[in-house]
Chain A
Amino acid sequence: DVKVTQSSRYLVKRTGEKVFLECVQDMDHENMFWYRQDPGLGLRLIYFSYDVKMKEKGDIPEGYSVSREKKERFSLILESASTNQTSMYLCASSPSGHGGWTEAFFGQGTRLTVV
């Protein structure tokens, strides 16, 4: 079974703090993704990565950065947390395949509250 593990289920941080959300996958997948999930908005792509040390901006990258130093690990960084970043954050991974990739596997999510 593919496993995508996010380091925390729940986090409470103060405005202005630097926040690290960690994600690890155990299936040697090339692609990794960070989404945020908000009621009525679905999942929105923040950043993604096709390989180690590379990153691409998604639809809502402002206020976030990412790091991928190892293939299995993809970190999301909130440089200075703000209350509008209170959300559920989902990490996903997928293999590369012919003509695209097969499916994305998701972690359990991290519910971040910024106070």
Chain B
Amino acid sequence: AQSVSQHNHHVILSEAASLELGCNYSYGGTVNLFWYVQYPGQHLQLLLKYFSGDPLVKGIKGFEAEFIKSKFSFNLRKPSVQWSDTAEYFCAVEGHTGRRALTFGSGTRLQVQP
């Protein structure tokens, strides 16, 4: 069975600070990887996804993530956060075999202080 670990549960940053949120997954095969974001009071929406090819993927709002296969990691980064990035961030994985459904991590709550 696949699983996802997000090590940072609550992160507090000042505006313009750099962000890196950790995500590690466990799965014995090829995966698709995703980061979703949930802004306060809003529905989950996709930030970025990795299916294949270039392991550095760029998403919306200046976010990017790097897939490191040897480390089973898919960390999310942003060079300079804004107050509007305050939200909860979820990493998710889908294996290429077996059930075709997302497995999510426990989430990281990001609070950006002005």
The chain A residues found within 8 Å of chain B, CB to CB, are 4, 31, 33, 35, 40-45, 48, 50, 56, 58-59, 90, 92, 99-104, 106-109
Q: Determine whether the beta carbon of B101 is less than 8 Å from that of A42.
A: no
Chain B residue nearest in CB terms to A31: B100
Known contacts A41-B106, A56-B99, A106-B36; can you find 15 more A-B pairs with CB under 8 A? A4-B43, A35-B104, A40-B9, A42-B90, A42-B105, A42-B106, A42-B107, A43-B102, A44-B104, A45-B101, A50-B100, A101-B100, A102-B49, A106-B44, A108-B43
| Minimum distance in angstroms from B22 CB to a CB of chain A | 14
Interface contacts (Cβ under 8 Å), in number, total: 60
Contacts of B23-49 to chain A: CB distance below 8 A: 32, 34, 36, 42-46, 49
Q: Determine whether the beta carbon of B102 is less than 8 Å from that of A45.
A: yes
Chain A residue nearest in CB terms to B103: A45
Contacts of B87-106 to chain A: CB distance below 8 A: 90, 92, 94, 96, 99-106
| Minimum distance in angstroms from A112 CB to a CB of chain B | 16
| Minimum distance in angstroms from A63 CB to a CB of chain B | 19
Chain A residue nearest in CB terms to B109: A39
Chain A residues with CB under 8 A of B49:
102-103
Q: Is B51 engaged at the interface, CB distance under 8 Å to the other chain? A: yes
| Minimum distance in angstroms from A58 CB to a CB of chain B | 7
Q: List 8 A-B contacts (CB under 8 A).
A: A31-B100, A35-B104, A40-B106, A43-B102, A56-B99, A58-B101, A99-B96, A100-B100
Chain B residues with CB under 8 A of A59:
103
Given A42-B105, A42-B106, A99-B51, A90 and B44 contact (CB-CB distance below 8 Å): yes
Given A43-B104, A90-B44, A109-B43, A100 and B90 contact (CB-CB distance below 8 Å): no
Closest 6 A/B residue pairs (Cβ)? A43-B104, A42-B106, A106-B44, A42-B104, A42-B107, A106-B43
Q: Which of A45, A100, A107 contacts B51 (CB 8 A)?
A: A100
Given A42-B107, A43-B90, A99-B51, A104 and B96 contact (CB-CB distance below 8 Å): no
Q: Determine whether the beta carbon of B43 is less than 8 Å from that of A107.
A: yes
Chain A residue nearest in CB terms to B9: A40
